[in-house]
Amino acid sequence: MIQTTQLSKKYGKAEVLNIESLEIPTGQSFGLVGNNGAGKTTYFNILLDLIRPTTGAIVNHDIQVNTSEDWKSFTGSFIDESFLIGYLTPDEYFEFIGDLRGMNKADVKSFLGQFDEFFNDEIIGKKKYLRDLSKGNQKKAGIVAAMMGNPQVVILDEPFANLDPTTQIRLKKIIKELTENREITVLISSHDLTHVTEVCERIVVLDKGVVVKDIETSAETLKELESYFSV
């Protein structure tokens, strides 16, 4: 359960985020939608304690994220390429993250084994540094790293951008499998309404930092969102 109360972020006079109350129950697949500057990444950054809220707080599984760091052990995330260590190979990167998340080499290997299809032979065992990979392949590595160490919460910012169609479909499958047992909460943001409605059971629309829609996904959701955004 992730609870957000009275959350706001201001830069000078400009308010970029203002969420009165938002509750994301455990096991939900939660989608965040909005135009550029809507506050999606800001919200994720506050949730990861990378920036401080002006008021209010986010409580992640009973831990207020800006007062304790204990949420880190059960939260995996990938926001952008700056989460990757460019001078490592993907294998070394996974080993590093695995180390931090208490996995030994064998654990890492068997974990990565599940993603063979997703990686499509382009990530593992290639003699290339992360910084030299294409944007799409970098993203694949980052997304998988976010799922390491059995996290309870997985946060992915724009996971579908830059991925090829095949990988997009595979990623959707992976996200669905993650939330299948209703134990892992997945938060994703996206500009692609089709993908997000397909994957998420609940969609929140942000506009200029404010929640303007909170929809339980149904057959009509895509139409509803499209009409909302086609202004």
Partner 1 sequence: MISHFLNLEWKQFFRSASFSKSIGAKILVGFFGLYFAVCFLFIGIGGFYIIKKQFPDQDPLVLVNSFLMYAIVGDLIFRYIMQKLPVMNIKPLLILPIQKSKIVHFILAKSSLSFFNIMGLFFYIPFSVVLIKEGYDFVGVLGWLTAMILLTQSANFFNFLVNKNNAVFGGLLTLLILGYLVQHFNWFDLPGFIGQGFDAIYQTPILALIFLVVLIGLYFTNYTQLRNEIYLDAIISEKTKEVNSADLSFADRLGDVAPFIKNDLRLMWRNKRTKSGIWMLAIGLLYGLFFYPNPVYADMEFMYVLVGIFSTGTLLINFGQFIPAWDSSYYKMLMSQNFKYERYLKSKFTIMTISVVALFVLGIPYVYFGWKVLLVHFAAMIYNIGVNSHVIMYGGTFNRKKINLDEKAAFNFQGTGAVQWIIGFPLMLLPMAIFGLINWLVSFEIATLTLAILGFIGIALHKKIMATITKKYIANKYVMIHAFNQEN
Binding status of residue 72 toward partner 1 by CB under 8 A: yes
- d(CA 60, CA 75) in angstroms, rounded, equals 9
Binding status of residue 77 toward partner 1 by CB under 8 A: yes
Q: Name the amino acid, one letter, at 119.
A: F
- d(CA 204, CA 134) in angstroms, rounded, equals 31
Q: Min. distance of Cβ 103 from partner 1 in angstroms?
A: 11
Stretch that binds partner 1, among 76-84, 107-115, 175-183, 194-202 (CB under 8 A): 76-84
Of 110, 167, 127, 121, the closest CA to residue 143 belongs to 167
Can you say how many angstroms the Cα of residue 29 is from the centroid of all Cα atoms in its chain?
A: 10
Binding status of residue 96 toward partner 1 by CB under 8 A: yes
Tell which one of 40, 101, 170, 195 touches partner 1 (CB under 8 A).
101
Angle between helices 165-178 and 135-146 in degrees, nearest 10: 10
Tell which one of 4, 28, 31, 49 touches partner 1 (CB under 8 A).
49
Stretch that binds partner 1, among 16-24, 99-107, 206-214, 221-229 (CB under 8 A): 99-107
Binding status of residue 63 toward partner 1 by CB under 8 A: no
Question: Site map for partner 1, 115-134, x if CB under 8 A?
Answer: ------------xxx-xx--
Angle between helices 90-100 and 105-113 in degrees, nearest 10: 120
Using CB under 8 A, count the residues that bind partner 1: 33
Stretch that binds partner 1, among 21-29, 43-51, 163-171, 193-201 (CB under 8 A): 43-51
Stretch that binds partner 1, among 16-24, 73-81, 180-188, 213-221 (CB under 8 A): 73-81
Binding status of residue 79 toward partner 1 by CB under 8 A: yes
Report in angstroms the alpha-carbon separations of 197 from 32, 83, 212: 10, 26, 17
Binding status of residue 92 toward partner 1 by CB under 8 A: yes
Q: Min. distance of Cβ 214 from partner 1 in angstroms?
A: 26
Tell which one of 26, 55, 68, 100 touches partner 1 (CB under 8 A).
100
Cβ within 8 Å of residue 221, ≥6 positions away: 197, 203, 215
Strand order in the sheet with 210-216: 75-78, 153-157, 185-190, 29-33, 202-207, 210-216
Q: Min. distance of Cβ 50 from partner 1 in angstroms?
A: 5
| DSSP sequence for 138-182 | HHHHHHHHHTTT--SEEEEESTTTT--HHHHHHHHHHHHHHTTTS
Q: What residue ranges bind partner 1 (CB under 8 A)?
A: 48-52, 69, 72-73, 75, 77, 79, 82-89, 92, 95-97, 99-102, 127-129, 131-132, 149
